[in-house]
Amino acid sequence: MDPDPEDRGGGLRVRVAWVAPEGAREVPVEVPAGACVRDALAAAKAPTGSGHFGVFNRERPLDWRLRDGDRVEVYRALKVDPKEARRLRAKARA
């Protein structure tokens, strides 16, 4: 078992993931102990325009405190409402 990052005096190792125009990106970064989502996004130079972020597929605020090994995710807005997309597909099949 890894020691607590604060006990070993090091930072937290986290990954920041987002989808860029050229494809999915995942950047490993090291941030100080006690860092939050905002700090990890800045360290990874990740886009923050969407305003929706999460840790391990759960939406979290920018001031959410991270733990060693966390995966920070940047969520993008949906282009089409899922219900509307379903209606359009059904209409196209008919």
32 vs 77, more confident:
32
Q: Which domains does the chain have, with CATH numbers?
A: 5-93 (3.10.20.30)
pLDDT for position 1: 42
Task: Decide: 12 and 5 in contact? Cβ < 8 Å.
Answer: yes
80 Cβ contact list (under 8 Å, min separation 6): 88
Residue 13 burial (CB count, 10 A) = 15
Phi, then psi, of 38 in degrees rounded to 5: -55, -40
Q: What percent of the chain has pLDDT over 90?
A: 68
pLDDT at 2 > cutoff 80: no
User: What pLDDT digit, counting tens, does each position of 78-87 carry?
Assistant: 788 889 989 9
pLDDT at 9 > cutoff 70: no
